[in-house]
Amino acid sequence: MNNFINTAFILFFFSISFSQGYSDFEEGTLEYWTNTDSSTLLLTNELHENPTAYNEHFLQKICDGSNEPLGEMAIINNSENWIGNYPTGFFDAFAELNFLVKNVNAFDLHIRIGYRGGSDNTKIISNNSITVPSFSDWTYIAFETFTEGFTIVEGNNTVAEVFENSLESKIIHNNNLSYEGLVVDGFFMIDDLNSIYLLSSIDNKSLTDVLLYPNPVNDFLTIKLPYYTNAEASIYNILGKKIMNKSFSGVSNQIDISNLKSGIYLVNITSENSSVTKKVVKL
């Protein structure tokens, strides 16, 4: 799954963050997301009703309820940015896949992620689903991609072996532990797909309890440190460009990010002896 690593990276003093696969659909394309049969029928790039509050475009699938890929509430990606080798050795074990989901259906969505790979196309699915209630606006959801968080539903390889040679990333709606999405008549709306590895080369325990809220955030982001100190907060976009910097003293401080574009950002907080990076979503 190291597939998600691209050339964009950020070097934060003692902390490194890599963004791998990223799809925001702003170019007006499907960015290689397809139906489970690799077709793109009923998949469209749509414009947000309120583009000032969100990015302008998102991915939409209209499931037709037929007992075939067009009726399955599921999308896959097997492009080079979303498949490959799971990072080992140099990388920490932590990884995350996060995205936004809007539910305009009269039923709840139960979101899971899955991967296919290994030597025999073994299929794995996340143990837990994340529920997005019916008639919900855009909701931020995240899955930690640890090996213990997945179940093998088909094949003989281990979960680790699937990650070491993944061939497909998949997002589905299914409350049951299955690699297949439910066959339904409804809408599947997704935006800002992103996979992040948060890596560290030193012990940052002194700042591990820092809080950033609200998250997702509209206007003012509050940073609450676990102790009184002089600190600096730097905000980077997903491509690694620093777009904001603020120094402050104390335990709590607010940053006005109302002028930032909607999307995912990394906030690096550095004190005299430690550094930590957190992810925030700007609505």
Q: Domain-by-domain residue ranges, the chain? A: 2-198, 203-282
* Main-chain dihedrals φ then ψ at residue 147, nearest 5 degrees: -65, -30
63 vs 276: which has the higher pLDDT = 63
* Confidence band, pLDDT 50/70/90 cuts, at residue 103: very high
pLDDT score of 228: 67
What local confidence, expressed as pLDDT, does residue 174 receive? Answer: 98
Same fold: 2-198 with 203-282: no
> pTM higher than 0.85 for the full model?
no
**CATH class for the region spanning 2-198:** mainly beta
Query: pLDDT tens for residues 70-96?
Result: 999 999 999 877 775 544 433 333 467
Which residue in this structure is represented by tokens 């609505």? Answer: 283
Mean pLDDT lowest for which of 65-79, 106-120, 127-141, 239-253? Answer: 239-253
Digit-coded pLDDT (tens) for 145-196: 766 789 999 999 998 888 778 899 999 999 999 999 999 999 999 998 877 6
7 has a pLDDT exceeding 90: no
**In this predicted structure, what is the pLDDT of residue 8?**
30
Mean of pLDDT over the chain: 82
Does pLDDT of 259 surpass 50?
yes
In this prediction, residue 205 has a pLDDT band, given cuts at 50, 70 and 90, of very low
* CATH code of the domain occupying 203-282: 2.60.40.1930
Residue 12 has pLDDT above 50, yes or no: no
